[in-house]
Amino acid sequence: MTVTTPSPIPSSGTRSAGDNASLLDKAGYGDERAWEELVDRYRGLVSAVVRSFRLQDADARDAEQRTWLRLVENRATVRDPARLGGWLATTASRECLRILRESPGAASMEIDLLPDRSPAVEDQVVDADTVARIRRIVATLPDRGRTVMSELFADEPQAYADVARATGIPIGSLGPTRRRILQRVRRALDAPLGV
């Protein structure tokens, strides 16, 4: 049995993971637009996971369709709709592995067909650039902000009590201070380069 994925529809506004529960519920009651929105939202993710297994075209299409079928079958049991992307990625991987196991002679080729989990050179460059930008942004923070960032986000983060002593920030204010600093860093990171 195959599930035909509907053609994408224009998405209105921003996509919020918080409304996945509502979309799953509506899709369960036959709301075609809710189903189309879910497919439109996650089609690229499912396709990318399936492509990473380097299946033949027909098998790749089957894996994608099986993934969407599993969502139809299990939509009411998805534990955390806000993490639907992760659920779909895991399901797509399982469907690809199932297809590989079902294929004749797959046992000898299965190792060669597993996805390459090493990051691409482009991804490594982007990650390095992002880390460098974050470090430059943190360097512009006031002393207390830099201390909070370095203490709480170190490889071995310090306890709140230790950070409170080091910064002079009351322990009860440390959480809100951390949140404000992170918002400031995120705004700076999201700003266009050169601004």
pTM over 0.85: no
Q: Please report, for the chain, the start and end positions of each structural domain, with discontinuous segments joined by +.
A: 17-113, 121-190
Separation of alpha carbons 38 and 91, rounded Å? 15
Does residue 63 have a pLDDT over 50? yes
For residues 60-72, one letter each, b for 16 or more C-beta atoms within 10 angstroms of the residue's C-beta and e for the rest, the string is: bebbbbbbbebbe
Separation of alpha carbons 58 and 71, rounded Å? 20
Report the CATH number of the 121-190 domain: 1.10.10
Separation of alpha carbons 85 and 110, rounded Å? 25
Please state which CATH class domain 17-113 belongs to: mainly alpha
pLDDT in tens, 140-160: 988 888 888 888 777 777 787
pLDDT in tens, 23-62: 998 988 889 999 999 999 999 999 999 999 888 999 999 9
pLDDT bin (cut points 50, 70, 90) of residue 10 is very low
- For the four alpha carbons of 109, 111, 117 and 120, in that order, the dihedral sign comes to negative
Separation of alpha carbons 64 and 103, rounded Å? 16
pLDDT in tens, 172-191: 888 888 889 888 888 888 87
Distinct helix (H) and strand (E) counts, the chain: 9, 0
Question: Shortest CA distance to 181 belongs to which of 151, 153, 154, 146?
Answer: 146
Separation of alpha carbons 33 and 23, rounded Å? 9
Please give the structure tokens belonging to residue 127: 């990650």
